[in-house]
Structure 1
Amino acid sequence: MLGKLLFFVLLLVSILISEIIVLNINKAENERRISHSVIAINDLVESVFNDAVIAVDVLKEIVKISDQKTLSLEKFNQISASLLSEYHNVDATLLLPNGIVSYVYPYEENKLALGHDILNDENRRKGGLESIKNNDVRVIGPVTLIQNGKQAFIVRKAILSNNTFLGFTSLVVHLSSISELIKQELIREEMNNYKITGYNPDSGIAEEKLVLSKGDINNNDAVKGIINIFNVHWELSLASYQPSLKIKAVIFVCVFFTLCMMQGEIVNVF
């Protein structure tokens, strides 16, 4: 009777210790995976948006030193063509005096945006006001562009002169330009279940901010990390790592036999 009781005690203790070991393995592996993925994606996305951030600032500075703090259409097109040829991750440029889209490049694909007053559009207003208030670059999106219905990111910077708001310079980076790059990076990191949400202060709906996703993600046990994109943040969610039944079984057997051996040594001592 005593032998059976001892067996069941060792069995229960083995199960408990095995579960603790598995939980620690889960935690360590999840921290490793999210850390590696965040670093890899952060470097990749910053390298993509770096072109747009430089270009939007260049355009802003040219406007500020120009006569009347504005550009002619000819000058805007000339500068935009040069920027797009130099910075290959930029898909379009826009100039918005007083917050109203007045110039676009390339014209045909973006002409429907002309006249769009973002500070009076509830779908763009908060993001625009943030750019003015913080006087920094904002990467907003993904959003659906009004000019062509494409999913894209808007890289925006306010033009301020002596604290007076003059307008915005905005650049467009299509979602398709970077989604495949991120997907390939996650494949290299061996991630099969993930979700990345972007930044858009004008929307409270997570689905509208979706950058990329694959597989099933349970928000209750997902592992999350923050991707820093210049002055805003994206969120990366990964499915929690779970050791296979084979690994769990090996851990249990090792623990059980170790306890059995220890129990035998204790008995021999006494």
Structure 2
Amino acid sequence: MSNILKEKKPIISFFITFIVVFSTLISFYMFYEEKENKRNSDKANLLMLNIINEIQSKISQGTTVVDSQILLLKQNNYDTKDFNNWAKDLMEGKDSVACLQFAKDGIVSNVYPYEENKSAMGHDLLKDKRRDDGALLAIEKKGITFVGPIKLIQNGKYALIARKPIFNNSGETEKFWGFSTVILYVDGIMKSLEQKIVDNGFEYQLEGFDPDIEQRPLLSKSKNFKGKDTLEFDVVVPNGKWIFTLEKK
């Protein structure tokens, strides 16, 4: 019996050594994987804080332009003959702002740039059942409202629409003049951010949020996004929230 044990001792020692070494390697791997996952998670969280700030900053550009249009209109006694010049200057350096509009009496009367947005001319915001709730709410609140993201009829792009009513108070009584409107393309908001995300080693997907439908509307995503091992973040925007998903390459 003792001879058999002696013969098997090297084999037993080998297996014990193998198990110890294998367990150690597994422990090191799990430790490394946990550390790597934490590092990726921390990196993703830091990146998302930066992205959220930039998205909200770009959206706030729309608010600024809406108010600037109204100020220029009032300074020019509600005459829009120089609208194209104002619009060109207001859009300069604002990559998220895609289109500026005036809607006198609620009917779109000025658009810039004109060629790609001319189909919006004559659109009656107060009679369009798809848009009148937001328009009437803006008049009631006498403040800025955000609609969307919605898919635009003229080009199929997702856009966020910032709209504010204009009141002419130069006479004895305040009178509704129309709307100042700014359209922000989601693609425009994401354009400068996408390269930053990819450079940091991530792919992304951006979805809208609608509690009334099961499928979230897809607003934008990078071409190599696969949807595996992802981290999900909420991005609060004026009209609700977007769902932003990061995926490690």
Question: How high is the TM-score relative to the length of structure 2?
Answer: 0.65
1:168 deviates by: 3.9
User: Over residues 189-233 of structure 1, what are the superposed CA-to-partner deviations in whole Å (9 max), with x where a residue is unaligned?
Assistant: 232x22123567898643x442232313326x4111234456653
Considering Cα pairs closer than 8 Å and 6+ residues apart, tell me whether 1 or 2 has the greater RCO: 1
1:8 deviates by: 6.9
Residues 153 and 173, structure 1, Cα contact 8 Å, conserved in 2: yes
Partner of 1:151: 157
1:118 deviates by: 4.7
Partner of 2:88: 84
Is 1:94 matched up with 2:94? no
* Larger fraction in helix: 1
* Residue identity opposite 2:164 in structure 1: A
Of the three residues 177, 184, 187, the one matched with 2:195 is 184
- Separation in structure 2 between the aligned mates of residue 140 and residue 94 of structure 1, nearest angstrom: 17
Cα distance 1:123–1:210, how it changes in 2: closer, same or farther (>3 A)?
farther
Aligned residues: 230
- Separation in structure 2 between the aligned mates of residue 205 and residue 126 of structure 1, nearest angstrom: 24
Residues 69 and 86, structure 2, Cα contact 8 Å, conserved in 1: no
- Spell out the pairing of 1:79-228 with structure 2 (5 A cutoff): 79=83, 81-88=85-92, 89=94, 90-96=97-103, 100-118=107-125, 124=131, 135-138=143-146, 140-141=148-149, 143-146=150-153, 148-149=154-155, 151=157, 153-159=159-165, 168-175=179-186, 177-191=188-202, 193-198=203-208, 205-206=215-216, 208-218=217-227, 221-228=229-236
Of the three residues 27, 44, 66, the one matched with 1:34 is 44
1:113 deviates by: 1.2
Residues 137 and 157, structure 1, Cα contact 8 Å, conserved in 2: yes
1:27 deviates by: 3.7
1:167 deviates by: 5.5
State the secondary structure of the residue aligned to 2:108: coil
* Larger fraction in strand: 2
- Separation in structure 2 between the aligned mates of residue 103 and residue 19 of structure 1, nearest angstrom: 63
* Residue identity opposite 2:68 in structure 1: V
- Separation in structure 2 between the aligned mates of residue 159 and residue 203 of structure 1, nearest angstrom: 30
Cα distance 1:201–1:79, how it changes in 2: closer, same or farther (>3 A)?
farther
- Separation in structure 2 between the aligned mates of residue 131 and residue 86 of structure 1, nearest angstrom: 22
Partner of 1:247: none
1:169 deviates by: 2.4
- Separation in structure 1 between the aligned mates of residue 42 and residue 60 of structure 2, nearest angstrom: 27
Cα distance 1:79–1:117, how it changes in 2: closer, same or farther (>3 A)?
closer
* Residue identity opposite 1:59 in structure 2: Q
1:55 deviates by: 0.8
- Separation in structure 1 between the aligned mates of residue 140 and residue 41 of structure 2, nearest angstrom: 36
State the secondary structure of the residue aligned to 1:155: strand
The runs of 5 or more residues in structure 2 that have no matched partner are 1-8, 168-174
Identical aligned residues as a percent = 21
Partner of 1:51: 61
The runs of 5 or more residues in structure 1 that have no matched partner are 242-270
- Separation in structure 2 between the aligned mates of residue 28 and residue 131 of structure 1, nearest angstrom: 45
Cα distance 1:77–1:166, how it changes in 2: closer, same or farther (>3 A)?
closer
